[in-house]
Amino acid sequence: MPNYGQFELIRRSSRSMARRGRIHTRHGSVETPVFMPVGTQGTVKALTPANLQEIGAEIILANTYHLYLRPGHELIRELGGLHGFMGWRRPILTDSGGFQIFSLGTLASIKEEGATFRSHLDGSAHFLSPEDAINVQKALNTDIMMCLDTCIPYPATWEETRRATELTGRWARRSLKVKKDNGQLLFGIVQGGMFPDLRRQAAEELVDAGFDGYALGGLSVGEPKPVMQDIIAETVPLLPQNLPIYVMGVGTPEDLVEGVYRGVDMFDCVMPTRNARNGMLFTSFGRSVIKNARFRNDPNPVDNQCTCYTCRNFSRAYLRHLYMSREILAYHLNTIHNVHYFVSLFREIQRAIDEDRFEDFRREFYSLRTEGT
Amino acid sequence: MPNYGQFELIRRSSRSMARRGRIHTRHGSVETPVFMPVGTQGTVKALTPANLQEIGAEIILANTYHLYLRPGHELIRELGGLHGFMGWRRPILTDSGGFQIFSLGTLASIKEEGATFRSHLDGSAHFLSPEDAINVQKALNTDIMMCLDTCIPYPATWEETRRATELTGRWARRSLKVKKDNGQLLFGIVQGGMFPDLRRQAAEELVDAGFDGYALGGLSVGEPKPVMQDIIAETVPLLPQNLPIYVMGVGTPEDLVEGVYRGVDMFDCVMPTRNARNGMLFTSFGRSVIKNARFRNDPNPVDNQCTCYTCRNFSRAYLRHLYMSREILAYHLNTIHNVHYFVSLFREIQRAIDEDRFEDFRREFYSLRTEGT
């Protein structure tokens, strides 16, 4: 029986940093590279656990901040942890709440001890220390926990970035101290903004502290894509290659392929679910806006390469009708398709790395993306 | 091979008018008594066809008025009729649009030739004759079509009711003339308001004209429940007992049991779907309002007698959380439960009539309904 948190490195690409791995958790193993659909409030929006299983999702992400405020982590603990509460039997990663608190803007303030903020739901005042963030995630009893981090706006000065990055480092060490040895994994978050020297300093400090995996935070916050990809390319080699590497909150299908190319194992993003609810569908040939008038009487599926429930059963014309009529089924069917697209993309990526042809896959991936609206 | 529209009378209760039957349509047969979930705009709100199949729904209802306005019946014809368009392979009954046009109030006016009305979507002007209503339903290519009828407000005078009822009768004869012999069934609608003599007159006229089945319209429009049940009890015996009898737009579980007791074979109502979206769940012991604070940490399913996907997998506490958080999954899971409740109720009713114990079933049904909120 594997140790929880053991990361099996299965194969390295011979022509890039891309790699195939497997993360062992208390709720089963996860093949990497992997995309984690986001289940903000204890549900991947508009999908049932059965839908996610059929799609083939192996791990989902949930938001500590949201669940802490509503329904509350103690309630979830009482009801069997997040797995029991939401009826999802496979692995769950929880973020720490840092990004959501940061996103509150003036409703939050960060001090050495932790974060003070007001709830976006009812304005109530809260204080969350790095230790609290771990304890909340212990109550949720998820498989992979993240350290509370301080996020950095873009743009930010070197000095601002240094201060926030160093505070994140001190919080990470405090988080480690309250981690129990119960099989829940704890990942550190490398901050450092857009400054390679601060990213290096953060990586060294966190690696020295010793985590079960490492995440890159503070990306996809408005910086140009090449800057993001350079930060990833420069930071990944500084992290232990025998542990999983996760880029948080990224991104488009193109960003994901580029991240894999640079050695990233794990990704999460609200894009497939949020865009589905806005009628934007991902396909093998690019993006498709379902309300487009040219789909009015189109009998074809969204993507004739796609094997999801939506594409097997419904035409663009029907999906357009549902979307124009604001039917709940539109959100459900669109989300099935988009999450299936992301999960299937990673199944193809995994197969390509297994067969040591990921770089060819990457070229073909771009060559197909000529159509769309 | 049965003729489409043949109604097999399988069994009569020995102690009431309740009866078991089977309606044969071009898309398979339907066991009666039956409840038809409502799919207003070409979707039973918040459910996929796969959900409906798993629940065991055998026939659904769709609204001619809504589909005529959006996406338009010609578009649906082009895309394979309503079955092909919405991906539902079992029987579909379409109403005629009469009730929706009537519900537009001052936006509609009724003349001998037909109904003039303004779209609730964009205010555009439309004219729909009884012949048009049939032709729209032919384009939708559904299995059971309804004649355009003129609805009657409650209360209404005898004279108002007589005029509307007689116009409905003339429209019904005009509808018959444009019916093709393509296997689509056509039902007449018995109006007559709350006046037994006008119900009798309407029934006689429609039976004389000769339809594939008969509906009672204009019930559950605000009249007291005993009045509704008396009208049903007095009208059903006036209709051919070798054809299906349908009460439109009714009702609560109690109304349905009472309707079956009085000899009705078919029902439809938005109650299970609409109430689900408002957080009101039907159970074997009464109704349950899911946002109720006492469900906050309740680990039990909505109804421990229920075998639906929702009750097999989720607690009241989780459903309450989803509802309070306005998650789309709340509407989906609540709708699965409520439609399952109605469909299962009819499966139990069918079994009870098969075993000639429907009257005992009816007594037990009431005796259980003691709890709830």
Chain B's closest residue to A312, CA to CA, is B87
Task: Report whether pLDDT(A256) > 90.
Answer: yes
Say whether residue A300 is in contact with chain B using an 8 A CB cutoff: no
Q: Using an 8 Å CB-CB cutoff, list chain B residues near A71.
A: 296, 317, 320-321, 324
Are A283 and A364 contained in the same domain? yes
With CB atoms and an 8 Å threshold, state whether A75 touches B329.
no
Chain A 48-67, residues with CB within 8 Å of chain B CB atoms: 48-50
B329 vs A46, A79, A85: nearest CB? A46
> Residue B7 in 3-state DSSP?
strand
**Domain span at residue A87?**
7-32+63-269
Distance CA A85, CA B324 (A): 15
Could you tell me if residue A264 is inside a domain? yes
Amino acid at B21: G
Candidates A69, A122, A315, A318, partner chain B, best to mutate (most B CBs within 10 A): A318
Q: What's the CATH code of the domain at B262?
A: 3.20.20.105
Could you tell me if residue A178 is inside a domain? yes
Are A232 and A123 contained in the same domain? yes
**Among A344, A348, A361, A267, residue whose Cα is nearest residue A309:** A344
Residue A229 and residue A254 in contact, taking contact as beta carbons nearer than 8 Å: no
Are B191 and B310 contained in the same domain? no
Query: What is residue A370's predicted lDDT score, i.e. its pLDDT?
Result: 66
Distance CA B56, CA B73 (A): 27
Candidates B321, B324, B326, B337, partner chain A, best to mutate (most A CBs within 10 A): B321
Could you tell me if residue A58 is inside a domain? no
B77-118 pLDDT, tens digit per residue, is 999 999 999 999 999 999 999 899 999 988 899 999 999 999
Known catalytic residue: B95? yes
**N-to-C CA span, chain A:** 49
Catalytically active residues of A, by annotation = 95, 268
For residue A254, give the DSSP letter.
H
- Kindly give the pairing relationship between strand B34-36 and strand B266-268: parallel
Task: State the burial class of residue B94 (Cβ atoms within 10 Å of its Cβ: 0-12, 13-18, 19+).
Answer: buried
Domains: count for chain A: 2
Confidence of residue A3 (pLDDT cuts 50, 70, 90): low
Are A132 and A213 contained in the same domain? yes
Amino acid at B202: A
Query: What is residue B271's predicted lDDT score, i.e. its pLDDT?
Result: 98
Distance CA A255, CA A228 (A): 9
Phi, psi of A110 (to 5 degrees): -110, 130
Are B18 and B98 contained in the same domain? yes
Whether the ω angle into residue A71 lies within 30 degrees of 0, i.e. cis, is yes
Are B347 and B225 contained in the same domain? no
Chain A's closest residue to B73, CA to CA, is A297
Could you tell me if residue A295 is inside a domain? yes
Distance CA B253, CA B275 (A): 13
A292-331 pLDDT, tens digit per residue, is 999 999 999 999 999 999 999 999 999 999 999 999 999 9
Say whether residue B318 is in contact with chain A using an 8 A CB cutoff: yes
Chain A's closest residue to B121, CA to CA, is A325
If you search the block for the tokens 């053991």, which residue do you land on? A6
With CB atoms and an 8 Å threshold, state whether A297 touches B79.
yes
Are B287 and B241 contained in the same domain? no
pTM above 0.95, yes or no: yes
For residue B343, give the DSSP letter.
H
Candidates B88, B308, B325, partner chain A, best to mutate (most A CBs within 10 A): B325
A328 vs B71, B320, B328: nearest CB? B328
Say whether residue A311 is in contact with chain B using an 8 A CB cutoff: no
Query: What is residue B369's predicted lDDT score, i.e. its pLDDT?
Result: 85
Could you tell me if residue A219 is inside a domain? yes
Task: Report whether pLDDT(A40) > 90.
Answer: yes
Backbone Cα Rg of chain B: 20
Say whether residue A37 is in contact with chain B using an 8 A CB cutoff: no
Query: What is residue A185's predicted lDDT score, i.e. its pLDDT?
Result: 97
Could you tell me if residue A204 is inside a domain? yes
Chain B's closest residue to A301, CA to CA, is B85
Query: What is residue A252's predicted lDDT score, i.e. its pLDDT?
Result: 96
Residue B268 and residue B38 in contact, taking contact as beta carbons nearer than 8 Å: yes
If you search the block for the tokens 């396909």, which residue do you land on? A283
Residue A273 and residue A38 in contact, taking contact as beta carbons nearer than 8 Å: yes
Please list, residue by residue across B127-147, b when 16 or more beta carbons sit within 10 angstroms of its beta carbon and e when fewer do: ebbbbbbbebbbbbbbbbbbb
Are B250 and B289 contained in the same domain? no
With CB atoms and an 8 Å threshold, state whether B47 touches A315.
no
Mean pLDDT of chain A: 96
Chain A to chain B, count of Cβ pairs less than 8 Å apart? 110
- Kindly give the pairing relationship between strand A34-36 and strand A266-268: parallel
Calculate how close chain B gets to A71, using CA atoms only, in Å. 6
Backbone Cα Rg of chain A: 20
Say whether residue A313 is in contact with chain B using an 8 A CB cutoff: yes
Name the token pair of B120: 């609730």
Say whether residue B38 is in contact with chain A using an 8 A CB cutoff: no
If you search the block for the tokens 């008594």, which residue do you land on? B33
Calculate how close chain B gets to A240, using CA atoms only, in Å. 39
Distance CA B228, CA B234 (A): 10
Could you tell me if residue A186 is inside a domain? yes
Confidence of residue A239 (pLDDT cuts 50, 70, 90): very high
Among candidate residues B269, B300, B317, the one where a domain is terminated:
B269
Calculate how close chain B gets to A178, using CA atoms only, in Å. 27
Distance CA B67, CA B74 (A): 10
Are A252 and A293 contained in the same domain? no
Q: Using an 8 Å CB-CB cutoff, list chain A residues near B47.
A: 329
Calculate how close chain B gets to A87, using CA atoms only, in Å. 6
pLDDT, averaged per 10 consecutive residues of chain B (373 residues), comes to: 77 97 97 98 98 98 97 98 98 94 91 96 96 98 97 96 98 95 95 98 98 97 97 98 97 97 98 98 96 98 97 98 98 98 98 98 91 43
Could you tell me if residue B44 is inside a domain? no
**Among A149, A144, A156, A151, residue whose Cα is nearest residue A205:** A149
Q: Using an 8 Å CB-CB cutoff, list chain B residues near A78.
A: 297
Other Cβ atoms less than 10 A from the Cβ of A84: the count is 17
Give the H or E element holding residue A363.
Answer: helix A358-368
With CB atoms and an 8 Å threshold, state whether B328 touches A327.
no
Say whether residue B309 is in contact with chain A using an 8 A CB cutoff: yes
Residue A358 and residue A350 in contact, taking contact as beta carbons nearer than 8 Å: no
With CB atoms and an 8 Å threshold, state whether A325 touches B70.
yes
Among candidate residues B214, B242, B269, the one where a domain is terminated:
B269
Given B143, B212, B268, B303, which residue is catalytic?
B268
Query: What is residue A1's predicted lDDT score, i.e. its pLDDT?
Result: 45
- Residues with Cβ within 8 Å of B105's Cβ and at least 6 positions away in sequence, in order, are none
Query: What is residue B6's predicted lDDT score, i.e. its pLDDT?
Result: 85
Are B322 and B246 contained in the same domain? no
Query: What is residue B372's predicted lDDT score, i.e. its pLDDT?
Result: 43
Are B80 and B174 contained in the same domain? yes
CA–CA–CA angle A208, A188, A101 (5° rounding) = 140
With CB atoms and an 8 Å threshold, state whether B45 touches A328.
yes
List strands edge to edge, sheet with A125-128.
Answer: A108-110, A115-118, A125-128
**N-to-C CA span, chain B:** 49
Calculate how close chain A gets to B288, using CA atoms only, in Å. 20
Say whether residue B340 is in contact with chain A using an 8 A CB cutoff: no
Residue A46's alpha-carbon distances to A142, A274, A277, A337, in angstroms, are 21, 10, 9, 12
Among candidate residues B251, B269, B287, the one where a domain is terminated:
B269
Are A240 and A319 contained in the same domain? no
With CB atoms and an 8 Å threshold, state whether B79 touches A317.
yes
